[in-house]
Amino acid sequence: MNDLTERITADPGKCGGKPCIRGMRIRVIDVLDLLSQGLSHTEILEELPDLEEADIRASLLYARKRVDHTVIAV
């Protein structure tokens, strides 16, 4: 997967359709929660051994894209 965004999937049959990593039952929010608790990338990869470094970067990119939207003042 060359494009990080391709690592994020959403399947209505998994995790209630929440964004997950590569079709696994590891949600983007799970990765973000671990980061917010101060875990390093290495610690997260130890905690969730099915993840890859690029999955963590993809989670951050996904979150960034979700919160970065244009606000039009009327």
pLDDT tens sequence across 15-46: 999 999 999 999 999 999 999 999 999 999 99
Domain ranges in the chain are 4-67
User: What single string gives the DSSP state of each residue in the chain?
Assistant: --SGGGGEE--TTSGGG--EETTSS-BHHHHHHHHHTT--HHHHHHHSTT--HHHHHHHHHHHHHHH-------
Give me the CATH code for the 4-67 domain, please.
Answer: 1.10.10.10
Take residue 56 and report the two structure tokens written for it: 């963590």
pTM of the model: 0.86
Tokens of 6: 């391709």
Q: What is the pLDDT at residue 70?
A: 72
Give 4-15 pLDDT, tens digit per residue: 889 999 999 999
pLDDT at 2: 56
Q: Which residue has the higher pLDDT, 74 or 5?
A: 5
